[in-house]
Amino acid sequence: MLVAVSFSSVFGGCLPCKALATFSSTVETISYSTFAAIFNVGWAATQVSHMSMVNCISLNSTSRVVLASCRNAFTMVANLSLYGIALIVFDISIAKTYADIENQYRWIAYLSIFIGCCFVGIFHFGTNEPRSKKGIHGNIHARISWTYWFRKILYYQVALVYVLTRLVLNVSQAYLAFYVINDLLMAQSAKALVPAIIYICSFIVSVLLQEIAWNGQRLKAYYAAGGILWMFCGVGILLLPRSMSLFMYAISVFIGIANALMTVTAVSMQSIVIGEDLNGCAFVCGSLSFLDKISCGLALFVLQSYQSNSPIIVGNYSTNFNFSVTRYGLGLVPAFCSALAVAVTCTMELQTPLSKPLMEPLLE
């Protein structure tokens, strides 16, 4: 509910401005900041609870990775569905003025919120809430202090890897459209086509990852593979000239593969930290989610501060190559974070617990 209300309020315009009959920049800033904060509270509650469900459904390490990969796959489906909604809106409504463009994006937002609320309703009212099975050895009811996690070295290692992974994903997504349009001077359709290729490849890889029997060593190996792949992609993005902009479509394929490998394995590492201490799911997932949001916000703030201070060259398209904040944000930052995350992963000792029967759930 918080996500739906705040998201619709952001796209619906400044409601306090209309109520107070003033459109000063101060009131607008307070209004949008407030609704953005409400959105993040609602999104955090949704994300943490949903991530915690994975560990509460099964103690089997392979099952947990399968659930994480399934979750990531349907995230890609949701992203691609948004493109479908946008395509329909742009096809039905022809924008001729700036106001028409605003209305198009409002319709996209409202339709997305409506469809999302429908699925939330189906989940809450159409799914019978299961009960914990008796006789399962997971520590479901044992109260766990926060200090318990702070005494585990693996918690800090996984937290660092997860935060770096989210930095790779979020920073690259933030600058992707600007890079293909402003740096590579590609067609306007590229800012939709390139992300779509990334989502499709991530979806395919997420599905394929469900067919693997997982343990700690394989998690580390697949994460390292994704990180190394992102490093090569980052170097390619950093050095790609405008005359070879079509290679961005090939790079986007490997970015999609790397994103899926890193995301699924990084989330699955949390499950190894949690183990059978199921009462600590929310704290582990919540604390790591909090750290990733803070770090991503700070990273984007720093990058944008350089963006605002750097001169903007308009109309000078004769240069085939130039280093910009956008190029650094999409190429250098994710590559550096990937390298650091791979290094931390190599130092981990992921002790996979004794495998529970694959078909033995925690819920009934």
Distance CA 191, CA 201 (A): 16
Distance CA 271, CA 265 (A): 10
Residue with tokens 């070295």: 153
Whether 72 and 22 share a structural domain: no
Question: Would 84 be classed as within a structural domain?
Answer: no
Residue of 64, 139, 150, 50 whose CA lies nearest to 352: 64
- What is the pLDDT at residue 343? 96
Whether 47 and 156 share a structural domain: no
Contact present, 307 and 120 (Cβ < 8 Å): no
Pair of tokens at residue 240: 């790609």
Question: Would 351 be classed as within a structural domain?
Answer: no
Whether 197 and 342 share a structural domain: yes
Residue-number span of the structural domain to which 293 is assigned: 60-79+149-346
Question: Would 101 be classed as within a structural domain?
Answer: no
Whether 36 and 69 share a structural domain: no
- pTM for this entry: 0.84
Distance CA 21, CA 12 (A): 16
- What is the pLDDT at residue 358? 47
Whether 258 and 319 share a structural domain: yes
Q: CATH no. for residue 238?
A: 1.20.1250.20
242: DSSP letter: G
Distance CA 30, CA 39 (A): 14
Distance CA 310, CA 135 (A): 63
Whether 29 and 160 share a structural domain: no
Q: Per residue in 12-53, pLDDT tens?
A: 777 777 777 777 888 888 888 888 888 888 888 888 888 888
- Range 127-159 burial, b when 16+ CB lie within 10 A, else e: eeeeeeeeebebeeeeebeeeebeeeebbebbb
Per-residue pLDDT of the chain (364 residues; tens, 9 = 90+): 788 877 777 777 777 777 777 778 888 888 888 888 888 888 888 888 888 887 888 778 888 888 889 989 999 999 899 888 888 888 887 778 888 888 888 888 888 889 988 988 888 887 776 665 544 445 555 677 888 888 899 999 999 999 999 999 999 999 998 999 888 988 878 888 999 999 999 999 999 998 888 888 999 999 999 999 999 999 999 999 988 889 999 999 999 999 999 999 999 999 888 888 878 888 898 899 899 989 998 999 999 888 754 444 434 444 566 778 899 999 999 999 999 999 999 999 887 654 555 444 444 4
Question: Would 133 be classed as within a structural domain?
Answer: no
- What is the pLDDT at residue 316? 44
Phi, psi of 132 (to 5 degrees): -70, 135
Question: Would 137 be classed as within a structural domain?
Answer: no
Whether 7 and 71 share a structural domain: no
Question: Would 318 be classed as within a structural domain?
Answer: yes
Question: Would 339 be classed as within a structural domain?
Answer: yes
Judged on CB neighbours under 10 Å (0-12, 13-18, 19+), 280 is buried
Residue of 146, 138, 354, 155 whose CA lies nearest to 269: 155
Contact present, 292 and 48 (Cβ < 8 Å): no
Output helix, strand, coil percentages for the chain, rounded to the nearest 5. 75, 0, 25
Distance CA 284, CA 150 (A): 10
- What is the pLDDT at residue 360? 47
Whether 64 and 50 share a structural domain: no
Whether 331 and 257 share a structural domain: yes
Whether 40 and 160 share a structural domain: no
- What is the pLDDT at residue 274? 87
Question: Would 66 be classed as within a structural domain?
Answer: yes
- What is the pLDDT at residue 130? 60
Distance CA 340, CA 333 (A): 11
Distance CA 159, CA 21 (A): 46
- What is the pLDDT at residue 53? 81
Whether 202 and 319 share a structural domain: yes
Residue with tokens 């659930």: 67
- What is the pLDDT at residue 312? 43
Distance CA 49, CA 30 (A): 29
Whether 47 and 179 share a structural domain: no
* Domain tally, the chain: 2
Distance CA 363, CA 269 (A): 22
